[in-house]
Structure 1
């Protein structure tokens, strides 16, 4: 099984910031271990907004300590770049009219749903996924098919 952790930035990253994050994460995954065992780690940055850390657990299992190492590193990235990767109060979605990705707070998103600016078919990003094989079909999904529906519809 390949695990994934999806972290959403509070704003879109600039090209230089993406390059810096790629440098940091490239070095990190090369030395990422769990109880002395090398993890088969990788990463992806999508849309200049989402950081994804992945581990192939068929090669070595992730542990609490190895997850803590990744969180610690991401917090360092936050400090260095002045961004937030752990703000679960931000919702990313595709604007129904333009298809552009927008980021708003939960209250604003709730108002958009109430006022019809966002509806059941609006594409949202389900960052709660835990398996890489879910990314293609369960990450960008209509609001009605995501955890967002329980909160906002």
Structure 2
């Protein structure tokens, strides 16, 4: 059942899907509709199941599901991945590539492969204070507290020389 993101418990499962590009304004409404429809129908046979999503910075799709009250099966997770694969194909973006890094430069969110990210750090184009998105977080609590943090406070700090 779709619920407001605020109603999802702190220990709920979270998946962050960063897009390789910012979505265009004419794409956003359709993407949100597809994601919301999926969440509304995800495990619809289980009245205890609660799930939600957020669409942030016109670039990130955040899915969350309360997997404590109702356990997620592999097929439930596969269904969510199928949604994301479908969005990748429709909008010609990468959403599942975990070897890329997202960070803020001013008001903009940048998306770089890890090799280019390391070069930016080496060349001092980024500092430890640069805000990075840790897209590998797994719970709502981590999402709320550790998704947007300075590089020096993240696991990416190992790349700072």
Same fold (TM over 0.5): yes
User: Hey, what's the Cα distance between the residues in 1 that align with 2:140 and 2:109?
Assistant: 21
Runs ≥4 in structure 1, deviation > 3 angstroms?
none
| Equivalent in the alignment of 1:56 | 66
Pick the aligned partner of 1:94 from 96, 104, 112. Answer: 104
Pick the aligned partner of 2:27 from 17, 20, 38. Answer: 17
Within 5 Å, give how 1:18-97 maps onto structure 2: 18-33=28-43, 36-38=45-47, 39-95=49-105
| Equivalent in the alignment of 1:147 | 155
3-state DSSP of counterpart to 1:88: coil
RMSD: 1.6
Q: Which runs of 5+ in 2 are unaligned?
A: 1-10
User: Hey, what's the Cα distance between the residues in 2 that align with 1:110 and 1:101?
Assistant: 17
3-state DSSP of counterpart to 1:91: strand
| Equivalent in the alignment of 2:6 | none
TM-score (norm 1): 0.89
Q: CA deviation at 1:5?
A: 0.3
3-state DSSP of counterpart to 1:6: strand
